[in-house]
A and B are shown apart, each in its own frame.
Chain A
Amino acid sequence: MIQSIEVKDTVSDQRKKIHPHKFTLWVGLGSIIMMFAAFTSAYIVKRQQPGWTSFDLPVVFWYSSAVILISSVTMQFAVKSFKQREMRRYRQFISITAVCGLLFIGLQLIGFDQIWKSGITFRGAGGGQFLYIIAGLHAVHVLGGVITLLVLFFQAFNSKIRNYNSVPIEVASTYWHFVDALWIYLFIFFLWIH
């Protein structure tokens, strides 16, 4: 009873054009962008300084880029299945997405390893060191997305509460597409400027 009154109350009183949680996410993405903008600007500034060393981008980063692009597609399928209330397919798709995310992180680590073995360690402050930090932090953001997906995955198994509220999955998918796009930006950045 109270619940239904409350729902009406909120809908009529507060003219929300966009769900506040989604909006919060968008603002949060703005702040993540600022963080990476700071890094990439530092990269550009630092490139002008003496002692800059360059590096070769390993081929494996192409694979990881492909994986994260695919994961965005499966994420989109997951949202679609959720909205059609096909929970089994939904669970399948978020599992695939999460596995893709982990695969992406694994491939990034392989890429780091290859660069490291080519002799570029933390010594110095060239493109390689920036790559470790920038791509490393990006991988941490992907990991955050994977954890979110795991939480959603287990919530979908909860048989007691039938929840067809699509906001959490939509927030997660926006975030997922964002880290995808962020990586593509960073990848192009590293390809272009090094």
Chain B
Amino acid sequence: MSNEATLHGHSEVGTSHDVHHGEHEIHHHKETFITKYVFSQDHKMISKQFIITGIIWAILGGLMSVLFRLQLGYPDSSFPILEDLLGKWAKGGKIQPEFYYALTTMHGTVLVFFVLTGGLSGTFANFLIPLQIGARDMASPFLNMLSYWFFFLASIIMVCSLFLETGPASGGWTVYPPLSALGDANNGSKAGMDFWIVSMAMFVVSSLLGGLNYISTILNMRTKGMSMTRLPLTIWAILFTAILGVLSFPVLFSGLILLMFDRHGGTSFYLSDIFISATQKALPNEGGSAILYQHLFWFLGHPEVYIIILPAMGLVSEVMAVNSRKPIFGYMAMVGSLFAITILAFLVWAHHMFVTGLNPLLGSVFVLLTLLIAIPSAIKVFNWITTLWRGNIRFTPAMLFAIGFVSLFISGGLTGIFLGNSTLDIHLHDTYFVIAHFHIVMGVSAFFGMFCGLYHWFPKMYGRYMNNTMAYIHFWITLIGAYLIFWPMHYEGLAGMPRRYLDYSGWSSFNQFGDLNRFISTVAMVVFAVQLMFVFNFFYSIFKGRKVTSENPWGATTLEWTTPIRPGHGNWPGEIPEVHRWAYDYGKDGRDFISQTEPIGANESSH
């Protein structure tokens, strides 16, 4: 490649950035409402679009869980108001079985993909990458904007599916065929399933466009002096998340295309000659393999859980170091364990399929690989705890959520060791034990990571603080509530109580859990109400929060705190600062912290 070509390339990037320099060009280039707030190419605005869309989705997804918890906690009562609100889905004030399945399916889909993937990665990758690596914007601001709008389109399609007459997809969030391929077998597999597939296809496009951008920005656009080992751990985590997404989402896409052909083309990739009771007929298909779908789905599905948890780990690591006023313990070990998790993420998918007809020998290979994940996870936990050890801890809300994350990650991770064993899985699969495990280790943990990030970077995003009192209430009730909701589910699961059932009261082995279910449901509603308080706090603080008065309110070393309090498009008004040290010089040589932009002193050893 000639030098000339590369230089031309630079000038092109330079000029395309130049057009959007808020600070530079405020007089030359007028931004309209549309270009600033709607079709914005500023990574900071795109990140805000992601978080607000994510919040709306989280409210919807949370509300769904409240509705089905209502059914699980009070299977005998009826709530006439539900019929007023939901019509035929809650005939006689009782949640109808089909609606119940639709609720659980949509709850899973929404939370896993739209909130904890789109909302979490989309928000923090967009916001933090350019700010923390020292770049004006993403490698391609335009693709970045497209990434959000594909996410938006996916959201609209998914929301529309909720209003279909036959209801949204309802075969579980994993949409296993044959159920998801047969409209005759299940109303939710009619138009709702098509909407689901199209929406997910849009979502895959969105996450690919985002992921490509994140990777090439991190690898190519770092400021001078910002070597990879000087990056904050947030960026490392986001990099690995993006790599996971780019390599695994296309596989889901392939799987869904085959599913679409089975549904409408008459192919038999997943379908075979099974008998459907609704039509009293056998299918004409032959030789299809439902397990093939499961392989394709879980090849995404397992990396997906790391796509959810890795950004949270990154946010927590950063917030924890800042608020312990100590360097993160074992920086390279943290990076190495992120890398190990990324590799292992691709090698463990079949542990979701131990009991679906997988070859037992293959199963034991996957047991080994699955249990290996405990090693990098334990390294990370060890490093977080040792970062806290003898730290000068500031219990800001962000820090509390970071510590809460570690607590939940340990609790949920331990039950992963149970579930990773194929023999134990014979008893535990598809029980509430699984529900408890993944909600704690990836659901609530990832939420804690997200909250931790939001409380910490809110001042950078909006130039104001969130209200601390509400934040503390939010933290304690959410933490205690999360344990009260999911801890008892382990007992139910160990007793064999299966997931995805509408009503357990007629089942003599499980009706002893009636009171426990009611308790869980009550706590779930309280916790949901507290999340609404968080949402109130978020939006209230955007407009009325206490104003940030200094550039670096947390005393952090990283680059985003060297920008103006409300940075324009382009982030730094002058030149992009040069980096001279790693991101974790806290408490060094008797100084509280040393910004990454400060040159190494004469008597100082570099890191």
Contact = CB atoms under 8 A, between A and B. Distances in A.
A24 B217 CA distance: 9
B18 A21 contact: no
For A24, A28, A32, A52, which residue has the most chain B Cβ atoms within 10 angstroms? Answer: A24
B224 interface: yes
Contact of B18 (A2, A28, A52, A167): A2
Contact of B215 (A3, A27, A167): A27
Contact of B251 (A38, A46, A50): A38
A165 B254 contact: no
A18 interface: yes
Contact of B266 (A21, A39, A122): A122
B258 interface: yes
A108 interface: no
A46 B286 CA distance: 12
B370 interface: no
A63 interface: no
Contacts of B272: 51
Contacts of A24: 139-140, 143, 212-213, 215-216
B359 interface: no
A124 B211 CA distance: 36
Contacts of A166: 5, 8-9
B224 A133 contact: no
A54 interface: no
A176 B478 CA distance: 52
Given A24-B143, A42-B254, A129-B261, A7 B11 contact: yes
A23 interface: yes
Interface in B207-245: 208, 211-213, 215-217, 219-224
B299 A23 contact: no
B261 A133 contact: yes
A133 to B, nearest CB: 6
Contact of B269 (A3, A121, A129, A164): A129
Contact of B258 (A28, A124, A133): A133
A51 B296 contact: no
| Chain B, interface residues (CB within 8 Å), range | 35 or more
Interface stretch (B102-110, B287-295, B520-528, B556-564): B287-295
Nearest to B208: A31
A15 B9 CA distance: 12
Interface in B1-53: 2, 5-15, 17-18, 24-25, 28
Contact of A125 (B255, B288, B296): B288
B340 interface: no
A38 B296 contact: yes
Contacts of B246: 27-28, 30-31, 34
B360 interface: no
Nearest to A33: B250
Given A30-B247, A38-B251, A23 B139 contact: yes
Nearest to B219: A23
Nearest to B217: A20
- Chain B interface, >50% SS class: helix
B470 interface: no
Interface in A43-70: 45-46, 49-52
A17 interface: yes
A14 B223 contact: yes
A42 B269 contact: yes
Interface in B252-311: 253-255, 257-258, 261, 265-269, 272, 284-289, 292, 295-296, 299
B213 A165 contact: no
B9 A19 contact: yes
B576 interface: yes
Nearest to A28: B212
A11 interface: yes
A16 B8 CA distance: 12
A54 to B, nearest CB: 13
A10 interface: yes
For B8, B134, B287, which residue has the most chain A Cβ atoms within 10 angstroms? Answer: B287
B14 A125 contact: no
A83 interface: yes
Given A27-B246, A34-B247, A165 B267 contact: no
Contacts of B329: none
Contacts of A83: 2, 5
For A15, A16, A31, A167, which residue has the most chain B Cβ atoms within 10 angstroms? Answer: A31
B530 to A, nearest CB: 39
A10 B14 contact: yes
Interface of B: 2, 5-15, 17-18, 24-25, 28, 134-135, 139-140, 143, 208, 211-213, 215-217, 219-224, 246-251, 253-255, 257-258, 261, 265-269, 272, 284-289, 292, 295-296, 299, 575-576, 578
Interface of A: 2-3, 6-7, 9-24, 27-28, 30-32, 34-39, 42, 45-46, 49-52, 83, 121-125, 129, 133, 137, 164-167, 170
